Structures are given as C-alpha cells and as structure tokens.
Structure 1
Amino acid sequence: MKNILICLMLVMSTLAVAQSKKKQDQQAIKEMCGCYEITFNFAETFDYQRDYQFHDNYRTKGFEWAQLIKDEKEEISIQHLLIVGGGQIVKHWRQDWLYENTALYSYVKDNSWELHTLPKSEVKGQWSQKVYHVDDSPRYESSGSWVHVDGKHYWEGASDSPLPRREYSKRSDYNVMLRTNRHELTDFGWIHEQDNGKVNRTEKGDELLAEEKGMNVYTKVDDSKCEAAQEWWKKNEQYWADVRLVWDEVYGANPDFSYAESLNDKMLYEVLFALGDEMATADNYNSMEVQTKVSEIIKSYMD
C-alpha cells in the first residue's frame, strides 16, 4: 500500500510540473503580442559554390502589431500586421502554436507540401509553430520545446520553406530555404533569430549554395503607435477568419497539395487581398457567401 501511495505521489508531482511548464510556455508565446518597432536584418555568411556571388545584405524596419486571435489551452494564434509608409497596413505573417501536435506539413519545392505524422512520444511537451503567408497559405512549420532556464525563455525549430518574399521575385538560383528559427524573449521585447541554408533541390538531391544569418529584433513600444493596425483589424478580422476556415477545409481534404504561383498574371494573395478590400466596405457582409468566393479562388489556383 505504501509503494502505491508513493507511486501516486510521484505521478501527481510529475503532472503538476508538466502543467506548470505548459503555463510558462503559453505565457511566453503570448508575450510576443503587442506593438513593436521592428528591424529586419539578413546577411549571407558562407558560400559553397566556387562561382557564387554574395548578395547584398537586406535591412528594413517599421512598426508591427501582433494581434492575439486565438487563446486556447492547446492552440494559440497570433496575426502580425505591418505598418509601412504613411500608415499603410499590410497583413503580414501569422503564427499558430499547437501543443503536442503530431501532424505537420513539410515543404517539398515548387509550392508543394506533404503531410507527415510524428509519433506522440516525439512531440511530448512540445509546441509546433505553423507559419503562414500573408494570404494564410502555408509557409513552414516545425515542432520544438520551449526552454525556460537561467532567466531565458526561448524556442527553436527547423524546417524547409519556400523562398522568403524578399527574394522569391529576385532569385532563381535556389528553390528551398532550410530554416532554423529561434524565438527568444528579451527585457525589451523579443528576437526572431534565423540560421538559413539556400538550397537548389532537384531529383538528384539538395545542392547547398550559401548560408545566411537573420536577426529580426522586436522592441516593445506603446500600443498607441500601432493604433492604425488595430483599427484595420477590427474592419477586416471577420473576412480573414472566413479565409482561415476555407484553408482549414483545404488542409483537411488534401493531405498533400500544391498550388500555382500565379494565375492570369495575378498572385493568390493579390486576389484575396482585393476581395478583402471589397468586403471591408460591404454594406451586408455574409460569411457563407464570402467563404464560397474564397473557396472558388483558392481551388482555381490549386487546379
């Protein structure tokens, strides 16, 4: 009887520690929300081809509002809105965090993804980060553990992805980016650090051209500096909620899928953004009708 009680106490203690760790993870993820002054910095570091020419460093900055759009025990979602120019709002990337998620899409190449299932034991206590394009199409995702030690709070994950938007229209020498992402909280905000490999993927295998270092620094500022983004989201959040629902249906129906980069000389995001602008000023917004239109648009690119 004594041994049974000891075992029960150990199990309860283990569960309590796991729950405490999970709460720390949730808090760390949500700490990335709010208004930030952000700098994007990328520099190529090593080359692996004799005739490779290093490309110029990339640097830009602006303000970004990170809006919490889902806050559940095992799923947290954050929508990023970039403020550029004279206050113009650009719907930026989205990150979804799922606890102990076993189903992850892997990028192949040429806008193609394959669904992979991981064993539960491999993702125990981990969070997967799913990152989406500006139009909520998939970008990359990976699973990893949040680490809370010595006053540091960070998460790391590695995955393949399409070319970043800063390069996809300028580069044709590589077609897959091997990404290692690190998100770390700081006393001034947080840092998104990247170690990336630029790869040309063919039937013969992967050819590594170069590596680059990325450092995106998010410095917390007063929410009033992102007021324009908050107002934009209020007018557009229903439309993009409907877009996400359609994409969820697409993922559910297509374990592996691909879509065209452009159709009739228009990118998918251009068409979805144009419909979003139209719906933002519509007198009678109908979610079912919007979802039908969005579904037709996305399927046209997939067909």
Structure 2
Amino acid sequence: MNTITTLYRSALLATALIAAPVLADGPIADRGEAVERAHFERDRETILSMAGDYKVRFDMQESTAWMKGYEPLERKISGGHESVRVIEDTGTRIVLQHLLVVGEEGSEMVIKHWRQDWEYEPEKILAYSGPNTWEWMEVPERLRNGRWSQTVYQVDDSPRYAGWGEWHDSQGIRRWRSNWTWRPLARRDAVRNPVYDRYAAINRHQLTPTGWIHWQDNTKMMPDAAGEDGLKSVVQEYVLNTYDKFDGYNVAAADDYWKATESYWGAVRAKWDEVAQANDGIAIEEEAQTGTVVSGRLLTIANEIKSGELSEADGIAEAQALIGEATAPGAAAKAQVARAEDEY
C-alpha cells in the first residue's frame, strides 16, 4: 500500500471514529444559565473527587476473538497503591497527577504514573491518530456544550489518548463516557510483540461508594490492506481499574517525590505543549518498554534531581533538549528506518 493510500484510509477511519458517537450522543440543548452552571459545578466536584490516596487493582482480560485462529491471552491482574493529586485547577481545566508507590515498607519507590487533564467545552483535543503520531482533532462545535474532554498522558508527560463526553447521573450512578478514541498499545501488550498495533476504545469513569472506577472497552486492531479502512479487528479486551480509598501505605513518599520534582515536570509539560503547538501535534517514536524513546531518561532525570545528583536547571535543560530532538520533523520516521535496518 502506498503512502497516499495509507494516509487516505487513516483519514477515513479517523472520520468514522468521530462520526460514530455523534449518532449516539447528539448535542446537549441549552438548559439555561442557572442549570448549566449547576451542571458545571457538579462536574467539577466529581472530577476533583478522584484525587486522594487509593489501593488500586488493574484487571485486564481479552475476551472475544474477532480474527479466526487468534487465541485470547490469559487474564492479567495487578495492583498497588496510588496517590492522585490536583496539580492545576483553573476552573475550566483540572489536571490530576497519579503517583504509584511500590516496594516494601521502609524502602518504597515512587513511580510517576499517568496524568489526566480535564477541560470544559474544549475546541480541540490532542488525539492519537496511529503509530508514533498524535494530532489536534477539532471537537465539533455543536457537541461542546456541557461536555468535558479528558486527555491522558504517559509517564513522561507525552500524550497517550484523548476523548470527550458528558458527566451525567443514571441509575443513581455518576458517570462519564468518552467518544470512540484511538489509543497506542499499553506496555502489557507492546512488550509481547502482538499482531495488533493500536486500540479503538471507549473510556469510562464512574464514582463508587469507596472511590471510583476507570473501565475500558478496547477493540485491538492490526494493519490489513484488505480490511475495511486498512485495518482489521483482532480481539476485544475489557479493562477495569478500581480505585478504593486507602491511606495505609507510605503516602508521604508520594508527596515528597512530587515536592522535589514538581518544577521539573512542569517544565517537561511545557516543552511537550510547545512542540504540539508548533508542529500541529506530536510525532515521536514509541518504545514498548517505556512508551516513548525518551521516557526512560526523563524519569531517571527526575530521580537524579530528587537525590541531588543533578541540578534542577541541568535536568530541565537536558529533558527539553531530548524532547526537541526526538520530536523534530522526520525524527520518528528516521528512527523507525534505523530500527528496521538493525533488525534486518
């Protein structure tokens, strides 16, 4: 398949992913200023309530095979302790940073985990559009009223996926559901060199009496020139991430880590934002173990700043240079070619 055909089919599929939820979720009619304000405040309260300290459980299971001969992988369950902190709140934008605390008591290690940014009635979102590529996607104006976008970032603050949806109450449960979104492979899959290379997914958040849940409905897809839009569905996966309020672990370790590295990570976020604005998105080579090719070093820099091995100024300068080099026009494509030649 030539490059033009590939790009054309990718554009068609991206359009399909946008169009599908439009049919399912029409515009929210103007409910009047007082009602709109009440909904907005309730939404903010809900998003902010996801901050806290938790015992977490990650439950991932491939279920229905859509491709003949494919055997779904065995269910995978993991867990740990996670502190979620509000690191920005402008009113219409709320940023939640997740910090994973692992290890035995007295020798805990903090891992900067994922980040979720919520924005009210956004004009556009930074969405995954295929391997190594995130592009700005316009949120249709008629669908913005009353809706929030959620953009999820990887451990190095590079983008992962984004979608939009409405918070609402149903059957006495507070819920948010995204539109269809593309997602890059999670580490649990990427390290296994699977036949699929992306997910088409719906993302949900719901409050519970003891915290909240994040659950996903993932269709795992693979390139196929003969398939519809150049892709073929391989298998369905259901993921349920459960956050139960719990502070019986070394919560201080998470806060100490963030206090020591907050300014560094703020500079890293600013650099990613700069690149996305300048290049109409972000192109960077994905890496199975860590997410992107610069992720491992960006995390190590933070640890060195915290331990005093590296000054904050030097760490920021190195991180910004790494991001700039890895996202320069053509860098991701060149890296892929070099890797293919090495493998050959």
Relative to the length of structure 2, the TM-score reads 0.79
User: Which of 235, 258, 277 is the matching residue for 2:283?
Assistant: 258
Structure 2 residue aligned with 1:216: 241
User: Which of 283, 289, 293 is the matching residue for 1:267?
Assistant: 293
Q: Does 1:37 align with 2:67?
A: no
Q: Does 1:48 align with 2:69?
A: no
Distance 2:310 2:67 in 1: 57
Q: Give secondary structure in 2 for the equivalent of 1:124.
A: coil
Q: 1:42 to 1:292 in 2, by over 3 A?
A: same
Distance 1:294 1:155 in 2: 34
Structure 2 residue aligned with 1:27: 45
Encode CA deviations 1:124-150: one digit per residue, 9 max, x unaligned: 110000000000001000010011345
Q: Which runs of 5+ in 2 are unaligned?
A: 1-29, 332-344
Structure 2 residue aligned with 1:135: 156
Report the residue type matching 1:37 in the other structure. Answer: K
Q: 1:246 to 1:223 in 2, by over 3 A?
A: farther
User: Which of 195, 198, 201 is the matching residue for 2:217?
Assistant: 195
Q: 1:284 to 1:296 in 2, by over 3 A?
A: closer
* Counterpart contact for 1:128–1:143, Cα < 8 Å: yes
Q: Which runs of 5+ in 1 are unaligned?
A: 1-11
* Counterpart contact for 2:86–2:97, Cα < 8 Å: yes
Query: Bigger CA drift: 276-285 or 198-207?
Result: 276-285
RMSD: 2.2
Distance 2:152 2:269 in 1: 13
Greater share of strand: 1
User: Which of 96, 110, 115 is the matching residue for 1:94?
Assistant: 115
* Counterpart contact for 2:131–2:197, Cα < 8 Å: yes
Q: 1:202 to 1:139 in 2, by over 3 A?
A: farther
User: Which of 147, 152, 165 is the matching residue for 2:168?
Assistant: 147
* Counterpart contact for 1:140–1:160, Cα < 8 Å: yes
Q: Give secondary structure in 1 for the equivalent of 2:186.
A: coil
TM-superposed CA distance for 1:227, in Å, is 2.2
Q: 1:105 to 1:202 in 2, by over 3 A?
A: farther
Q: 1:284 to 1:125 in 2, by over 3 A?
A: same
Q: Give secondary structure in 2 for the equivalent of 1:60.
A: strand
TM-superposed CA distance for 1:282, in Å, is 3.9
Report the residue type matching 1:52 in the other structure. Answer: Y
Q: 1:124 to 1:40 in 2, by over 3 A?
A: same
Distance 1:272 1:301 in 2: 12
Structure 2 residue aligned with 1:161: 183
Q: Percent identity?
A: 33
Distance 2:193 2:76 in 1: 14
TM-superposed CA distance for 1:203, in Å, is 5.3
Q: Give secondary structure in 2 for the equivalent of 1:170.
A: coil
Q: Does 1:293 align with 2:318?
A: yes
Distance 1:212 1:286 in 2: 41
Q: Give secondary structure in 1 for the equivalent of 2:68.
A: coil
Residues matched between the structures, number: 289
Deviating above 6 A after TM superposition, structure 1's stretches of 4 or more consecutive aligned residues are none
* Counterpart contact for 1:41–1:57, Cα < 8 Å: yes
Q: Does 1:175 align with 2:197?
A: yes
Q: 1:274 to 1:254 in 2, by over 3 A?
A: same
Encode CA deviations 1:96-152: one digit per residue, 9 max, x unaligned: 000001211232222112222123221111000000000000100001001134532
Structure 2 residue aligned with 1:58: 76
Structure 1 residue aligned with 2:11: none
Distance 2:121 2:248 in 1: 32
Report the residue type matching 1:62 in the other structure. Answer: G
Structure 2 residue aligned with 1:113: 134
TM-superposed CA distance for 1:280, in Å, is 2.1
Report the residue type matching 1:108 in the other structure. Answer: S
Encode CA deviations 1:55-86: one digit per residue, 9 max, x unaligned: 11110010000011011211000000111222
Distance 2:248 2:40 in 1: 27
Relative to the length of structure 1, the TM-score reads 0.89
